[in-house]
Chains A and B, each alone.
Chain A
Amino acid sequence: MGEARVYVIPCSGIGKATASVGRDATFQVIEDLRPDTTDTLCLSLLTMGDEEAVAKVIGNKVITIEGCAKDCARKNVEASGTSPDISHRVHEFLKEHRDLKPETVLDTGEGGRKLAEVLAEKVAQEVDELAGSQNRPGE
């Protein structure tokens, strides 16, 4: 894989099924949909101020995916000295797809898996836009 240009970072929420959806969506993007232009990193490394992790978010485009309104991924990216280019909250997608409510943290169920797919497709398109924008002259 070439050098990643867009980091997709889910929150590390362990208490909500929506966090599991965000995590699944992230894996779909970085492993299946856009493996050549994306990567992820452990959010906890940003919490700890790991230099390598901080350098990655500062030097690349970032999309965060939040399991709830506490916005941990965004806040930890901001604490590293930059801001995500795009930030999603899984429950905002639920508003548009009411029938795709995830079930549990360990098994999001049929609805949760489909919701992750919807989210992943959206993020993949955004990756294309962000990755393309990194090639604009003068940027």
Chain B
Amino acid sequence: MAVSDDAAAIVVLPCSGLDKEAGSASREIALLLSDRGVPVVCPVLYERSPKRYEKELGSRRLLVIDGCKTGCASKLAAEKGLTISKKLTVTEAARMLGVEPGKDLRLGEALRERLPQMAEQLAKTETAPPASAADTGNAYETAVTYRELTVDKFKFRVPEAGYFFNENDCWARVADGRARIGVSDYVQQSASDMIFFEPPAIGAEITIFDEAGSLETTKTALDIISPVSGKVSAINDAVVEAPELINEDPYERGWAVEIELTDFDSDRGLLMDSPAYFEYLKEKAEKEHERLYGDR
């Protein structure tokens, strides 16, 4: 079978849900795309042997199919640091097409009839490519090394170089006229498990120290205070789907927002580089951690 232009550019990761009809549908949609020449990633095999799909995932846009809102395939993608280009949740898509997926393990006729439409919807190329980190991802691939600060039983990591911090413990990592921003390890440990991330809008103008997204944890709510000025050029979809990425990897996979910089030379004067932030954190951690957050 000839591979179409679209099929050459995409790869699909379905969930492997076997406990309900929507999970079966997820697999069937992936098979429909496979018929068009789109490679399919087996989530179970990928979990055990990520290298197996290195080539496909490194060179194609990733489409994800979740059977339901549990979002297993999205979470797997997030855990592996993949950028999701487009996602389909079968339960939601089916309801929009007038079908309610059931608890039966087998695919019913009503849902089966809607699958080609869902496959088409998922694979459809958008005319304007979505603002995605895939375009700028390579600029941030330099390996990061860390220093660790121990306070009581807690260990807080700080990158040794290449990051800039404000006094709100938010960081910026600059590359090619843009900056990815996020919250520090100190924040994610103190604030506990992340459960929601509300990003700013793509295109929003941000001035240094403005709020650039908000986070909610099991313990508190906090804003991401931007260390830089510019325009929002990308959102980390993986963090929107799985905010716990920030807890797992706050400085790399857990970046939240990307900003196209307008005046980093000025912004830089108001920020701390990594060594300065480390010293700042040393002083702050002992005094503030106990007062604000008590025990974790």
Chain A residues positioned under 8 Å from B248 (CB to CB) = 69
Say how far B195's CB is from chain A's closest CB, in angstroms.
5
By beta carbon, the residue of chain B nearest A96 is: B69
Which of A16, A68, A95 lies at the interface centre, i.e. has the most chain B CB atoms within 10 A of its CB? A95
**Cβ-defined contact, A16 with B195, below 8 A:** no
Report if A16-B196 is in contact (Cβ < 8 Å); known contacts: A69-B247, A94-B218: no
**Docked pose: A72 CA to B286 CA in angstroms:** 27
The tally of residues in A whose CB lies under 8 Å from a CB in B reads: 16
**Cβ-defined contact, A98 with B196, below 8 A:** yes
Q: Is A17 an interface residue (CB 8 A)?
A: yes
Report if A15-B195 is in contact (Cβ < 8 Å); known contacts: A94-B218, A101-B218: no
Q: Is A18 an interface residue (CB 8 A)?
A: yes
**Docked pose: A17 CA to B193 CA in angstroms:** 11
Chain B residues positioned under 8 Å from A89 (CB to CB) = 193
Say how far A51's CB is from chain B's closest CB, in angstroms.
30
**Docked pose: A51 CA to B196 CA in angstroms:** 41
Which residue from A15, A91, A95, A101 sits with its C-beta under 8 Å from B295? Answer: A15
Q: Is B237 an interface residue (CB 8 A)?
A: no
The tally of residues in B whose CB lies under 8 Å from a CB in A reads: 13
**Cβ-defined contact, B218 with A91, below 8 A:** yes
By beta carbon, the residue of chain A nearest B248 is: A69
**Cβ-defined contact, A95 with B193, below 8 A:** no
Chain B residues positioned under 8 Å from A18 (CB to CB) = 193, 218
Which residue from A16, A95, A98, A101 sits with its C-beta under 8 Å from B296? Answer: A16
Q: Which residues of chain A in 83-139 are interfacial with respect to chain B, using CB atoms and an 8 Å cutoff?
A: 89-91, 94-96, 98, 101-102
Binding site for A on B (CB under 8 A): 69, 192-193, 195-196, 216, 218-219, 244, 247-248, 295-296
Binding site for B on A (CB under 8 A): 14-18, 68-69, 89-91, 94-96, 98, 101-102
Given A69-B248, A91-B193, A94-B218, 13 new contacts (CB under 8 A): A15-B295, A15-B296, A16-B192, A16-B218, A18-B193, A68-B218, A69-B193, A69-B247, A89-B193, A95-B196, A98-B196, A98-B216, A102-B218
